[in-house]
Amino acid sequence: MIEITFDYYQGMVVTEQINSKLQKLPTLYQQEVLHFIEFLSQKAMREGEAETEEKLWTDFSLAQAMNGLEDDDTPEYTEADLKEKWR
């Protein structure tokens, strides 16, 4: 998802600011900017994949930790059991 922010001081959307400045650069520097944008795109994709993989492992770990607990014979506690009694 691309987020568009508005810079009220400049009165332009960020992409418009980038385009405006980019057009003023020589072609060689425009190519460098393009390479940097490609680098950032790949970085964002890797980070998104890493977050997805981490969530999958977290869900798997939780499922494995909870596996079999529904059949556990430990006593169930009530709210009254949890209240602290002061003497």
Whether the Cβ atoms of residue 17 and residue 10 lie closer than 8 Å to each other: yes
Task: Give pLDDT tens digits for 13-31.
Answer: 888 889 999 999 999 999 9
- Domain boundaries in the chain? 26-64
Whether the Cβ atoms of residue 13 and residue 5 lie closer than 8 Å to each other: yes
The pLDDT value recorded for residue 30 is 95
pTM for the model: 0.48
Task: Give pLDDT tens digits for 57-71.
Answer: 888 888 888 877 777
Whether the Cβ atoms of residue 24 and residue 13 lie closer than 8 Å to each other: no
What are the residue ranges of helices labelled H in 1-87? 14-23, 27-66, 79-82
The pLDDT value recorded for residue 36 is 94
